[in-house]
Chains A and B, each alone.
Chain A
Amino acid sequence: MKRFLLPLVIFLTVVGFLAVGLKLDPREVPSPLVGKPAPMFNLPRLDNPEKTISPKDLLGQVWLFNVWASWCGACREEHPILVALSKSGTVPLYGMDYKDTRQDAQQWLEQGGNPYIASAMDADGRVGIDYGVYGVPETYVIDKAGVIAYKQIGPVTEEVLRDKILPLVKRLQAQ
């Protein structure tokens, strides 16, 4: 009996590691930016290029920063969820249109509805690099002091919103 014990233990250990490995998403690279101040930028607004948006203007409130693009398939998936969120009015949602053309982006918002208070235009993707963007959509939760509290890589789903983002936003708003 005892001679089977060791192989069994090894087998179960390997199964354990593989089971955990299956659940990990290699695309979710922990961002070094969480806990750091949101990188500054000053970008033209999508709806009005004369005006600009900067995170500096949003200090003192908790806000969500969603990086999106009209060419991005997964953005279509999360869009209705963002629209519903913006209607609920729990947290201000700002967007950044990443490597896109103004015309495509505006058309996209007309079709799917515009959940953003305003969107910045990052046409050449420079600000995206500062934010470590590598897979659109990405969503950042930024606190009152302008520090990134959380980064969601990939689409915001109902579950992520309910279990992670909204509780965090509530906690940060109470601070």
Chain B
Amino acid sequence: MKRIFRLTAVFCFLLAINAWTQEAGAGEAQPLQENAVVEAQVQRLSEELRCLVCQNQTLADSHAELAEDLRQEIREMAAKGMSDQAIIDYLVVRYGDFVRYRPPLKPSTLMLWFGPFALLLAGVVGLVVMLRRRAKQAADAPLSVDEANKVSELLNKES
């Protein structure tokens, strides 16, 4: 009985926490909301940019404190009328190309961009070479006398 009480208490506590955090979360994206153009730009950019703290999330998805700071920074730059490119450049200067979900094409990223296609090409070439060789082997191998005898023997048995 005591245990049930305790469980209920824990459950109520969790519900309260949940309600509280949801309330806190709801207030988060409020600042500067009046400017729809700026907000759209912030949204667009933060979906293009990586949060460096939780590296597989965009700035838009991340709840890391740094991501919140960077969204705020982007919002302020957007409000000043900076272009998408200028804002991305601002972040790349500080955090490197890694902040971008679409890495730029340059010598150090050639492998990244073309590596998969090179691998595919190598695979296709290998496959063609192998198939050709196999076809040639099958055509080029004449039967020895023993084998020919065995074949005719088997064929005769069948009929």
By a beta-carbon cutoff of 8 Å, the part of chain A in contact with chain B is: 26-27, 29-33, 99, 124-125, 129-135
When chains A and B are docked, how far (Å) is the Cα of A30 from the Cα of B95?
8
Q: How large is the interface on B (under 10, 10 to 19, 20 to 34, 35 or more residues)?
A: 10 to 19
When chains A and B are docked, how far (Å) is the Cα of A135 from the Cα of B52?
8
When chains A and B are docked, how far (Å) is the Cα of A171 from the Cα of B95?
27
Q: Does the CB pair B96–A30 fall under 8 Å? A: yes
Q: Does the CB pair A132–B95 fall under 8 Å? A: yes
Contacts of B94 in A (CB 8 A): 32-33, 129-132
11 further A-B contacts with Cβ under 8 Å, apart from A29-B96, A125-B65, A129-B69, are: A26-B55, A29-B95, A29-B98, A30-B96, A32-B93, A32-B96, A33-B94, A129-B94, A130-B94, A131-B94, A134-B52
The A contact surface, by secondary structure, is: loop
Contact with A along B54-96 (1 / 0, CB 8 A): 0100000000011001100100000000000000000011111
User: Which of A32, A99, A129, A133 makes the CB contact (< 8 A) with B73?
Assistant: A129
User: What are 15 A-B contacts defined by CB distance under 8 Å?
Assistant: A29-B52, A29-B95, A29-B98, A30-B96, A30-B98, A31-B95, A32-B95, A32-B96, A99-B65, A131-B94, A132-B95, A132-B96, A134-B52, A134-B53, A134-B95
> Whose C-beta in chain B lies nearest to the C-beta of A26?
B55
Chain A nearest CB, measured from B31 CB (Å): 14
Q: Does the CB pair A135–B53 fall under 8 Å? A: yes
Contacts of A27 in B (CB 8 A): 55
> Whose C-beta in chain A lies nearest to the C-beta of B66?
A134
> Whose C-beta in chain B lies nearest to the C-beta of A125?
B69
Chain A nearest CB, measured from B86 CB (Å): 16
Q: Does the CB pair B70–A129 fall under 8 Å? A: yes
> Whose C-beta in chain B lies nearest to the C-beta of A136?
B66
When chains A and B are docked, how far (Å) is the Cα of A33 from the Cα of B97?
12
When chains A and B are docked, how far (Å) is the Cα of A133 from the Cα of B69?
12
Interface residues of B in 22-46 (CB under 8 A from A): none
Interface residues of B in 87-132 (CB under 8 A from A): 92-98
When chains A and B are docked, how far (Å) is the Cα of A31 from the Cα of B93?
9
Q: Does the CB pair A32–B66 fall under 8 Å? A: no
When chains A and B are docked, how far (Å) is the Cα of A131 from the Cα of B92?
12
Closest 9 CB pairs of A and B: A134-B52, A132-B94, A32-B96, A29-B98, A132-B95, A125-B69, A134-B66, A134-B53, A29-B96
- Count chain A CB atoms within 10 A of each CB in B73, B92, B93 and give the residue with the most: B93
When chains A and B are docked, how far (Å) is the Cα of A27 from the Cα of B52?
8
Contacts of A135 in B (CB 8 A): 52-53
Contacts of B93 in A (CB 8 A): 32
When chains A and B are docked, how far (Å) is the Cα of A130 from the Cα of B53?
16
> Whose C-beta in chain A lies nearest to the C-beta of B52?
A134
Contacts of A134 in B (CB 8 A): 52-53, 66, 95
